[in-house]
Amino acid sequence: MKKILAVIWPVIVAVVMLASTYGMRPKSYESEAKLASGGIFWEGQFHCSGTEIGKTQNGNGIFLTARHCVANAETNELYKNFMVSFSENEGGPYYMARPLALSLTDDLALLELKNGADIPEVKIKDERWLKVGEPIFNISYPLGAGKLKFHGEYMGPSFPHFPADVLQRYSQWLYAMPMNMTIAHGSSGSGVFSNRERALVGVAVGTFEEGSFNIAIPADRVIDFLNDLQDNTVEKFQYAFPVKEAVLELF
């Protein structure tokens, strides 16, 4: 696990930032984004969602997801034995995956998909080009129900007052943005998209139990992460966030 992939980060920065779909492009952008959206399986069970955003020079895919989908948010332990599928019903083909980079500040991570370079990929654009109330959509696998599409509205690039109790548990959401779009368990790591910009503008990471405001890491933070992969390696994550024991709940 401590064999780090840092040697390839310079190779992937350029391809990630301006990633675009190759070959014949679907007529609708929602169809294009859907092709690039996949489900993550951990030890054979559905786990999270994510989006293909680029490829490496050695023929592998680059898959964007949430950090808590790659490392346990309570103990920081890295998960193992990942597979990713892009099918509608979570069936194959499956691509073997391994952690490529983890953000030290935000709930973001990259997986490298073996032989996944031919999967369609999406561009990433700064969400601050959007107007408040502008339509956005999400494609994910909520509750393992297959690949589904949800629509909502862009509310702004950040929360004016993020709840302190949430930040105490999830400091990686400090720079998150609100959205009034339905997501559920299993949607974590999935892309938030804009039809007008034809691009990914955020990564869904969580929800508030008391209302419909859901949480995404905005694209400007994604872009910062991708531009600084040398400081967001798996090795540096493990050093900054050493594995700790899970809290025991006594009863």
C-alpha to C-alpha distance for 150 and 30, rounded to whole angstroms: 10
Q: Flag whether 162 is in a domain.
A: yes
Same-domain check for residues 99 and 204: no
Q: Does position 251 have pLDDT exceeding 90, yes or no?
A: no
Q: Flag whether 251 is in a domain.
A: no
Same-domain check for residues 190 and 101: no
- Percent of the chain, pLDDT > 70? 85
The average pLDDT across 33-59 equals 95
Q: Does position 21 have pLDDT exceeding 50, yes or no?
A: no
Same-domain check for residues 10 and 117: yes
Q: Does position 25 have pLDDT exceeding 80, yes or no?
A: no
- So what's the pLDDT on residue 2? 31
**Which of 42-46, 96-100, 196-200 is predicted with the least confidence, judged by mean pLDDT?**
42-46
Same-domain check for residues 15 and 117: yes
Q: How far is CA 151 from CA 113, 159, 187, 250, in A?
A: 28, 20, 13, 41
The average pLDDT across 223-236 equals 97
Q: Flag whether 247 is in a domain.
A: no
Same-domain check for residues 13 and 109: yes
Q: Does position 230 have pLDDT exceeding 80, yes or no?
A: yes
Report H helices in 197-250. 219-227, 234-240
The CATH number given to whatever domain includes residue 41 is 2.40.10.10
- So what's the pLDDT on residue 209? 66
Same-domain check for residues 192 and 82: no
Q: How far is CA 164 from CA 49, 168, 170, 171, 213, in A?
A: 27, 6, 10, 10, 16
Higher pLDDT, 188 or 12: 188
Which of 26, 65, 70 shows the shortest CA–CA distance to 195?
26
Mean pLDDT score of the chain: 86
Same-domain check for residues 186 and 234: no
Q: How far is CA 102 from CA 161, 174, 194, 216, 225, in A?
A: 26, 16, 25, 16, 9
Q: Flag whether 142 is in a domain.
A: yes
Q: Does position 190 have pLDDT exceeding 60, yes or no?
A: yes
Radius of gyration in angstroms for the set of CA atoms belonging to the chain, rounded to a whole number: 17
- Percent of the chain, pLDDT > 90? 68
Q: Flag whether 249 is in a domain.
A: no
Structure tokens at 233: 């390696």
Q: Flag whether 146 is in a domain.
A: yes
- So what's the pLDDT on residue 8? 35
- So what's the pLDDT on residue 246? 65
Same-domain check for residues 231 and 113: yes
Residue 173 DSSP symbol: G
Q: Which domain holds residue 156?
A: 127-219
Same-domain check for residues 118 and 235: yes
**Which of 4-18, 99-113, 155-169 is predicted with the least confidence, judged by mean pLDDT?**
4-18
pLDDT band of residue 91 (cuts 50, 70, 90) is confident
Report pLDDT digits (tens) over 137-180: 999 999 878 999 999 999 999 888 777 777 777 889 889 999 98
- The domain tally of the chain equals 2
Query: For the whole model, what pTM was predicted?
Result: 0.86
Same-domain check for residues 20 and 100: yes
Same-domain check for residues 117 and 10: yes
Same-domain check for residues 93 and 146: no
- So what's the pLDDT on residue 161? 78
